[in-house]
Amino acid sequence: MIVCIAEKPSVAKDIAKILGAIHRKDGYFEGNGYQVTWTFGHLCTLKEPHDYNPNYKYWNLEDLPIIPSSFGIKLIANRGIEKQFKIIETLVAKSDEVINCGDAGQEGELIQRWVLLKAKCKAPIKRLWISSLTEQSIQEGFQNLKDSSSYENLYAAGSARAIGDWLLGINATRLFTKKFGVNKTLLSIGRVQTPTLAMIVQRQKEIDSFVVEEYWELKTIYKDTEFNADIDRLKSQDKANKGLEYLKKYPLIILSFEIKEGREKNPRLFDLTSLQVEANKKYGFSAENTLKLAQSLYEEKYITYPRVDTTYLSEDLYPKITNILSNLKPYENFINSLLNNPLPKSKNVFDDTKVTDHHAIIPTHISPTNLSSDENKIYDLIARRFIAAFYPECKISNTLVTAKVGEVPFKTSGKQILELGWRELYKNERKDNNGNGEKILPIFIKGETGSHEPFIHQGKTTPPKPYTEASLLRAMETAGKQVDDEEMRELLKDNGIGRPSTRANIIETLLKRNYIEKKKKNIYASLAGISLIDTIQNELLKSAELTGVWEKKLRLIEKGEYKLDIFKEELILMVKEITNEVKASNYKKISTESVSTYKREKNNSLPQNKKTVINDKLLCPKCKSNTLIAGKSAFGCSDFKNCNFKIPFVIYGKKLTYKQLNDLVTKGKTSKIKGFKSPTENNFFEDILCLDDNFRIIFGNENLKIE
């Protein structure tokens, strides 16, 4: 008897029907020489600390780090799981062959391997590897079964990930909770969770410390077209007024008028992250919700496997594309023009070197019916992107006009779409009287001149934008680097933190633990999240870039280019170093209710007229034993009577931000600060602030004492 083990009952039912196992039994299907059973996702998990030593049930600093000599697995304590495992164990024990039909990915491999390991399977094991659940795909998969040994590296990578998360999560969470937590505050640390939170906290602090500055720009209207002065923004209204008076004296002269035709490349097919990003931008869907909807469409056989990190198709799929396109009935008006000509075989779509376990997410040849509203939105994103990949490129016209008024340079630019190409799929989303949403300029002639209408535009600098799930997913994908170019993003994927299938869960975990909060689409760090990151001094735990290096090693294990044992040794060494460092540290205990009590005011400066602790870790640099507090007009040592250290809220007309205060106290100097007002002249200057040997505040460049 051949036993097939799928990851879900619904998938087992589809496989059983195709194999002829039509008789329903308790926990499996049987027939035609096959028994088809299933798991419910994870049936097994790594053993917990107390499974190795009963004393580990209690959290004690002295027991850390906890490093088992070898890692074991156990069944998850659940009656339904225990019953289903017993059925699998019985079937496997009597089998002649076992076929692993789990999801074709790292997590799916790990789920099934643990079950077979726990069941002590001795029968030969084969692997079904498919990218969609259509009947055709399943049949082709069973015709091309591979030996389980072909996926040893995939299993090793899954094991390394699970063990790494266990080692760091168990030890670091217990370590920081017992060392720094008070009032039973749990300080949760994770290999991917913590650097993700650190990125959000860093962005939060940049926003909180941002000081809004006014600026003025010179603009003018000529031939109903707005031109911008090609000079730096002006920092005072007086200069802007003088500039405006100057512009009124001279006509505008056109220096150049350039039109360059170009092309906009087709958007890449979706991987999971880009699908989640697009769904968040367009519909506000959370990453987790998008994954659930995509998984549902996959199980309904309407799209291919969604938990992928490539935007390419394998070259052997090319002959099947026409059939898939011809079955996308709701999009016939877009497809008919494609089917009249041979489809292009672009390297931007088909590239075997960019495809590993799976190809990009595309529709199957089965046309969907009875989709929910949200399922339809996700399917529409995937289908349109798929069709757009085979359309011609979009032809555009870029226009750049340069001019001058007196000696002041001006410029304006515009873009016109000449041929929609792939944008035909999205033309209803682009709104203006030309249907393309772009600024179209009139014709200008070099050397022409005429009167114009100059004016002043007054604006304010804006802080960095909070993360949305879309921008956070991109930041996780590129280990915190801000990358807009799709090709560059592809190169950085190996160093991204987390996997496409786990990033949504990381964000949800941070939300559930109240380390972050969502307001509409925006994500903000909570006081609890800021407190936790402020407490962690070891950069290894919160560096997105370093975590990205670990992720790359996991991918190398998957490719057979790195060893699981070496990865484990590196993690164990790191955990030991962190444990020893934190045990020896003398940072103050924290609670998530009390730390980072500074309030955000409209001007984003630190609190004023409030005698409050700024941060329980920010010690007075002079006495090094007391915290800083905010008084009526200055930050000062909480033991000011004996210590006398203080920093004024406002120095030469400039309010200090949290970051500037933090740098001054911890580093002894700030970075260059703009906006100091001279007491003798009516102008502004920039400088750095320093603490001298007597802990007085001085300007770095002028050695001037600040009272």
Active site residues: 305
DSSP assignment string, 300-330: TTSB---------B-GGGHHHHHHHHHT-GG
d(CA 544, CA 550) in angstroms, rounded, equals 10
Joined together, the tokens standing for residue 323 give: 């059939």
The answer for 31, left when phi > 0, alpha when psi is -120 to 50, beta otherwise, is: left
CA distance 469 to 484: 16
The β-bridge partners of 612 are: 630
C-beta atoms surrounding 531 within 10 Å? 26
What's the rounded Cα separation, in Å, for the pair 707 and 701? Answer: 17
Rounded Cα distance, 635 and 179, in Å: 28
Q: Which region holds residue 20: left if phi is over 0, alpha if psi is between -120 and 50, else beta?
A: left
Give the burial class of 37: count Cβ atoms within 10 A of its Cβ; 0-12 exposed, 13-18 middle, 19 or more buried: buried
Handedness of CA 502, 508, 512, 517 (dihedral sign): positive
Q: From CA 354, how far away is CA 349, in angstroms rounded?
A: 10
Give CA–CA dist 525/196, Å, rounded: 11
Residues in the chain: 707
* Bond before 65 cis per omega within 30 degrees: yes
Element containing residue 214 per DSSP (H, E): strand 214-222
> Phi, psi at residue 207, to the nearest 5°?
-70, -45
Are 346 and 415 in contact by the 8 Å Cβ rule? The answer is no
Instruction: Say which residue the tokens 């002043």 belong to.
Output: 456
